[in-house]
Each structure stands twice: as structure tokens, then as C-alpha cells.
Amino acid sequence: MQFSNYANRFSANSGTVQLMDDLGSAQRASGPVYMLGGGNPAHIPEAEALFKAEMLKLVEDNNAFGKAIGEYDSPQGNTAFIRALAGLLQQRFGWQVGPEHIAITNGSQSSFGILFNVLAGEFADGSFRKILLPLTPEYVGYSDVGIHEQPIFEGHKPSIEKLDEGFFKYRVDFDGLNIDERYGAVCVSRPTNPTGNVITDGELKELARRCEVAGVPLIIDGAYGVPFPGIVFSQATPVWNENIILCLSLSKLGLPGLRTGIVIANPALIQIIKNANAINSLAPGRLGPALVTAMIEDHSLLSLCNDIVRPYYADKVLRVIDMIKELIPDIPVRIHKPEGALFVWLWFEDLPIHCHALYQRLVAQGVYVIAGHHFYPGLDEDWRHKQECIRVNYAAEESVVRRGLEIIAEQVREIYRTQA
């Protein structure tokens, strides 16, 4: 069978495909597996119990259930859900958001597939605009969504602040960060996958200001962020205006199976997303909105974030940091200050081998993490730091995380001992 050039986009060499394939092969592995890769959120019993109760209510309501599974939604997404969300955003944050500012997609990944291609690429004036990522490492899932042969990302190196007690933090390096008409949009994940960094309120304000001046939209990927799921342990004020495109998702609340993404943006862009939904998939899925609309209406979704989801991860990450310090006291590892999301980002300074080789050694022991070099979309320059980090998802059961970290410690110790 022959495929068109379009099929090149779906080449098996794409970083995202390889990472998802790894998850599949881990599931098929015969020995013990310590899954610290992937982006699955934790199974939080209290959160799952609440979702189950909402699901039971839905199932018992014949009319609502029949509609949720038996009828296509509007291509913009479920009207009741959109209205409820607009109301919540107005009341809680005073944002001038109406239903015309919100569209639903089949998960944030789908949102980015639309957004990056409508904001970057070839323009009518002959220009080719890119998406500027002002701080890489950044989410690997962005890498392969561009439909153009030409790369659509330009990634920038951060400045690194070394902190006490073996921590460090990336900061946006504003020197040399010129935001102008070369870019179709600027994009940051906040908190950031893979590092758990939270771009500070000050940094975000400055990015938003520069974007506004240049007339370039700022995309804030809030998959882990505010207002929900709110997996943030530092200060992060929710922000939105008509030049900001805020992307949210139900996934990291514990509902990745429902594939529900949300875009909050100016009405012209929302119309394009609505049309793209109609053309690509007729309508976004209906079950996610049906499940959580009542929780948005009575604001209990925000209580779930504040009282259950955030404390769960905040508590767990502290225990994981303690484990790392206990297990790896003799190795030059620095941990990115854990400010949010589900990951710890470990930097092995002057690691004698490439992090991909470390990753392969870990896979041979049944430990799945993600090698750090994948997380630099659009940053092609040689930078040793790219080879020195790994991402560890700490959402798994604590015993699994502990055993995985023990194996990482053994392997890294061995590498420093024999290859330094």
C-alpha cells in the first residue's frame, strides 16, 4: 500500500508515538514493571468516588443519559457545560467570558492540533510564522502536531537558578526574547510538563505584556493548572484576556478517558475551533461535559481541586522528594523545584552517558521514565543539559515509585562509578 506525503506526519519516528508505544510495550512486558513514564494522573479514591456518584446520577436520569450517549453535541461543545463554565469564570475571576469565548474539544491534545496549525504556518502575505516556546524544556506532545514540512516551533533556553538543598528552577530568559510578527503565537504550559515548573505571575505578566504589544496571542496550557485541576503548589494567579488562549482539560482531574479539552479564547478563534470540530469529528465527545456540568454549576469542581486533588499531589511530591534524598544522597542530582503537575524532573549534572542510554538501561530493569532530550521542541542547538535530565511521573502507587527510584539510584550510581 502506498501513502501520501501526509502520512509522513504519522511516522513511527515521532517522539510522541514512541513514547505512547513505550507505554504499550510496558503493559506487555513479562517481568515486573515500574511505570514512571506517561502522563496518567493518579487514581485518587475520593475523586473517583465523586465522579462515580455523578455518573450514577447521570445513568439514572433517563433523559440526560439518553442525550449524553445518544445524540451528537453542537460542534462548539455542550451548551449547558459552556454556559456553566462561563458563569463560573465570570463569578470567580471577573473575566468577561461568555459562551462565545469557549469551545470544547476531544482533549487538549486535539486543541493544540487545531491551534498550532491555525496560528502557525503559511500566511496569506507569504510569511511563515512559528510558535515561540519561551521556556524549554516544554511538553513533548506539541512536537509533532504541525502539518507543515517546515518546523513550526522555536524553543528558547531558560536561565537556571541553582537553589539550596539540591533544587533548581528554570526561569524565562527575557534577554534576547523578541516577540514580534515572526510568531503566530507564544505558548507555555503552566505548570510545565515535564519539569513541574510554574512560570511565575511576574514572568507571565511580562510575557502577556510583550505579546499584547506585538499583537501575538499567548497560549497558556493549563492542563495541570488553574482554575482546574489546580495541581499547583506555588502561587499561580489565573489570568485571561482576549489576547490569551487558555487551554484546559478534564484529564488531570482524573478523567483522561473522557477526552475533554476546553479552549477559552476570543470569539473569532472559537468559531474556527467549532468549524474544525465539525469537519474533523462532527462534534466533541459529550460524556465529559455531561459528567461535570453540575459540579461546575455549584462550584464543587473547584472544591474538589482545592480540597482533594491538590493536597493529594502536594503531599505525595514531598514524600517522593524525601525518597529521592534518602536513596540518592551520594549522586550529583538536582531536582527541579516541584511547583506543580505530576512529575519530578531530575538533573544529573555531568551525567557521563546520554539520558537516552540511561533510559534504555532503566527499561531493561523494568523502569519506565522519559528521557529528557525529548522535551525541547524547536531548540536544536547543542546543549549538554538536554542529555542530563529525566522525567519521573510520581502519580503511581507509592511502592511502585519507591522501587522505581531505587533502581534509578542503583543504575545512576553505577554509571557515575564506572564511566566518570
Q: How far is the CB of 260 from ligand PLP (least distance, A)?
A: 7
Q: Binder to ligand PLP among 47, 84, 223, 245 (CB under 6 A)?
A: 223
Which residues ranging from 11 to 50 are in contact with ligand PLP (CB under 6 A)? 39
Sketch the per residue contact string, 281 through 310, with ligand PLP: x for CB under 6 A, - otherwise: ------------------------------
Q: Are the CB atoms for 315 and 308 separated by under 8 Å?
A: no
Q: How far is the CB of 36 from ligand PLP (least distance, A)?
A: 14
Sign of CA dihedral 401, 195, 313, 38: negative
Q: In Å, what is the CA distance from 112 to each residue of 107, 108, 119, 188, 298? A: 9, 6, 10, 12, 29
Is residue 141 near ligand PLP by the rule CB under 6 A?
yes
Is residue 134 near ligand PLP by the rule CB under 6 A?
no
Q: Binder to ligand PLP among 251, 277, 293, 387 (CB under 6 A)?
A: 251
CA angle 334, 340, 345 (to 5 degrees): 25
- How many residues of this chain interact with ligand PLP, rule: CB under 6 A? 14
Give the side-chain half-sphere CA count within 13 A for 408: 34
Q: How far is the CB of 101 from ligand PLP (least distance, A)?
A: 19
CA angle 323, 326, 327 (to 5 degrees): 85
For ligand PLP, the closer of residues 223 and 351 by Cβ is 223
For ligand PLP, the closer of residues 261 and 289 by Cβ is 261
Rounded Cα–Cα distance for residues 263 and 104 (Å): 6
Sketch the per residue contact string, 76 through 115, with ligand PLP: x for CB under 6 A, - otherwise: -------------------------------xxx------
3-class DSSP state of 97:
coil
Q: How many CB atoms lie within 10 A of CB 280?
A: 14
Q: Are the CB atoms for 407 and 359 separated by under 8 Å?
A: no
Residue appearing with cell numbers 503565537: 185
Q: Binder to ligand PLP among 151, 166, 256, 332 (CB under 6 A)?
A: 256
Is residue 143 near ligand PLP by the rule CB under 6 A?
no
Binding footprint of ligand PLP on the chain (CB under 6 A):
39, 107-109, 139, 141, 189, 193, 221, 223, 249, 251, 256, 261
